[in-house]
Structure 1
């Protein structure tokens, strides 16, 4: 047991932070080596307090008095940051250190009385936030005391106090509720943006009813001050004024007058509004980032599914092809393999184009091309797919029109629009139109399919977005087709828009390109 006590004492001595132990009467009895090194002189070696304990410096004794007055049993008390000079440096500049003391109880035993432990935290290197806040509180307290002195000094006509009030930037005012007369200094007039006290409205200074002798809500208890922030719009712009007031009752306990101060807090208020805006922007940015992360996750899952389906089909038909002997079975397997291979090729092309577009490397070889003929060829390519779903693909209204464009990229746009129309139309018609309007070539794809909700239209051309009615189940595809189409059309100095009256009402996609 003795060995353990000795080891514990040695550990206490080696603690890096200064520690001071007080007895139950808050008298110092023990300190570790760090405390002696900081406050007891560099030569102090013993952990026990010296006999001349009363020779502790004044700040130490004041700190111990604060501990005695604030520490509660079973609680921990943290002191304000105070300056305590160290004994480890010769330079006065190096002696100046700021400390914060954490006081806590050490429970007693049958043979030992309870103790109090003071742990000294070096606060010299901390940011000066606490000091600034302390100065603000001290400033507000000083201004409050200054206001209380104002009323007495004004009655005596003390001009020196008036000048001090102006130097402090405080406006002073007083309202006689019986006569509704307002008295104030020049600073108050400047704060409220008026030229004379008679121009001040009571609603500027008071919160509550304006009738003479009325009982104000903020005066439910005696000497209860109130404050408000007033926005003043004037020739110099918008300013924020802090108004504080205090009611003074007469002998019948009815309000006789109200007096207070005004203070220009524009800089503080602007800073608060800027911080609020920053917080809101940060919150919005975080929400957008989280939404994008979820979208990317969904995209990865969609890519995995969309690539796996045609790959599985190709593998299955390839295995059947090895066993097939009849020409019809071989032809059917070959067609299925080609169909799924084309589907894979389209998806891989979209992925490659997406990466190229994101890095600004999407190439376009523009040359004269007939948009009508190009659209008709694409319509014939997808006609078999439409017929397989029982849809009627109409492409009779196609006018010839020459534009300057990349033929393969424009085919990609038309194919995406027609493929989407067929995908989201369960029955009815898909119509392809190419017309000329003034100096523009107009390509439209209309369908009688599931339609698009109004709130989904702004998101339609976003990357990784797959928009479909709630009842439509899972949507195939990567969510890149319309996004790619938008950027390809923009690369041809054109526009692409979508229109739908809502779910079940079909949709119309319109591409506008400049004529050659």
Structure 2
């Protein structure tokens, strides 16, 4: 069907002028969907010549798989007298296809059906790219818990990313008012944070500001936010009219910061304690060596005198060696290098041997050691390390036992090997119990008894390495009971013949 366009020169000229003025692709179609006249903008976009585009030829610029769908969309819109729209792959002048969205508006006279169409197109690759970028930005801001905002003082309106309100623990608000910020801010931070914002936004204020503050969520939890703002425009009097900024949830960073500060504090305290503890045995050791030197200059000394000096020196050397050993063990534990060497042996015998070695020290402290055993408990353990556990527990009991008896018990309890060390001394305060096995942890009374605060920590790590448990029960003024349980299976007796 041929469409006569000789009576419509002004319409075509107008369409060409619109296309040229707007930079858009615009063309006219007959009611059947044929190109009415040459469209320079269409030809420039698709690379078709005017001859190729005439009549139904413009459809050849559409991807072959999309032509039928576009024709159906046009027919349906014509039957209903309404605009039509469809997406298709469209051949570009650069010999590649792009995805485009074609819009058609009907040309109608009176109440009759459309006599033609004014069509335009928009590339949607750009739209898709923008949508993808927006989605990536949304995911990034949500994952990083970062919100972007902008406040227009003139319009009294704040625009923000969709996760902004959630950083305050709130549901999405229809309108964000400044009082929502102040009311959510922790009372202790409200005045300072408000002053920083108001000062920056006022005349003579800095164009950039930053403030960290706490917010209280409706559920009562406290979160840290870091807000950075930049003044983009000011009025004639210097007051801010447009501010843009970011809001970041830094709760985890603040927690880590607090943990690091605590770690530094513990380290400094430990270094102070360690230097004191390592120096303490050196003083009497140095004095005894000086005494032995003077005795040697005077000539032969009575054996009992020499023995007294040597015994004191040996005890101080032993104490110094123990401190150094604890430090080395903690270093290995921190690096995950404390290895256990397992072998068959009797826990009962090792506990008895350690108790005998501590007899002299217990006597000096005025403590009586009482050891009970319910049979031999033999298993596969790192016997040297278990001796270290017994030594640390027993040393701890003697230190805080206040000269009262210390009771040790070793035996079996079901599927566990059991070691219990109980003293009748000062006990442990309830608030200190949860931390008693922590590294460098020392009870308040420890300052009067010395020590690095490592013995119980090392003992716990050794027991854990064996798959066992180390626990404590204590009542202030009534002593403390430490209990070690290790996985154990009784050996089967050989069948009688």
TM-score (normalizing by structure 2): 0.50
Q: Which has the larger radius of gyration?
A: 2
- TM-score relative to the length of structure 1: 0.48
